[in-house]
Structure 1
Amino acid sequence: MDRISALRNVEDALSEFEAGECDLATMERRVRGVLRTYATEFAEQDAYRASGDEECEGVVVLASSPSEARERVADLTDLDRGAVTVDRVE
């Protein structure tokens, strides 16, 4: 997905929300999906969601491997890598 396509898809979701054709949760899911697809295709990496310590819970990073993802989360949160668990986002 290129940038223009991503922007069009986000615009479509916003337009449908404004027209009352979808609810807020649906619009959020669509926009999140567009952004995740764009980011992972652009970076050619996978998305990983962190869990474990409260400070990192829910943080999503792009990385080439789980160990790289743990390192990125640890850098963002100042946690020890060992305190971070990551799962690939499908």
Structure 2
Amino acid sequence: MDRISALRNVEEALRAFEEGDVDLATAERRVVAVLRTYATEFEADGLSAYRARGDDRADGLVVVADSEREAEQRIRTLLDDDGALSFEVVGVEQRT
């Protein structure tokens, strides 16, 4: 899914919420689904999506980076971690 498609799908979820066709929880699920699809299909300019596995604070976080090492650094920066957390970084498989 490209960025424009993702934005259109988020807009559709917002419109459905504003028009009363769905409740907030449904709109949130739709937006999360769009973001997850976008992240798992994201590959541009050598960047890929990476997921952290390990300590609770890091586990499940997904970032975009050009390498596992950079992904680890980004996660540590996001969590304001000085290296105390224990986690590994793995590539997120693309959805087909």
What TM-score bracket applies, with the shorter chain setting the length? 0.5 to 0.7
Aligned positions of 1:9-88 closer than 5 A? 9-39=9-39, 40-43=41-44, 44-49=47-52, 51-52=54-55, 54=57, 56=58, 59-63=61-65, 68-76=70-78, 77-80=80-83, 83-85=86-88
Gaps of 5+ in 2: none
CA offset at residue 6 of structure 1?
Answer: 1.5
Quick check: which one's helix share is greater?
Answer: 1
> Structure 2 vs 1, CA of residues 46 and 60 (structure 1 numbering), >3 Å: closer, same or farther?
closer
Q: Is the 8 A contact 1:73 1:84 kept in 2?
A: no
Under a length normalisation based on structure 1, what TM-score does the superposition of the two structures give? 0.62
Gaps of 5+ in 1: none
Q: Is the 8 A contact 1:47 1:88 kept in 2?
A: yes
When the two structures are aligned, how many residues end up with a matched partner? 89
CA distance in 2, matches of 1:24, 1:87: 32
CA offset at residue 9 of structure 1?
Answer: 0.6
CA offset at residue 80 of structure 1?
Answer: 0.6
Q: What is the identity percentage for the equivalent residue pairs of Structure 1 and Structure 2?
A: 51
After alignment, is 45-54 or 30-39 more displaced?
Answer: 45-54
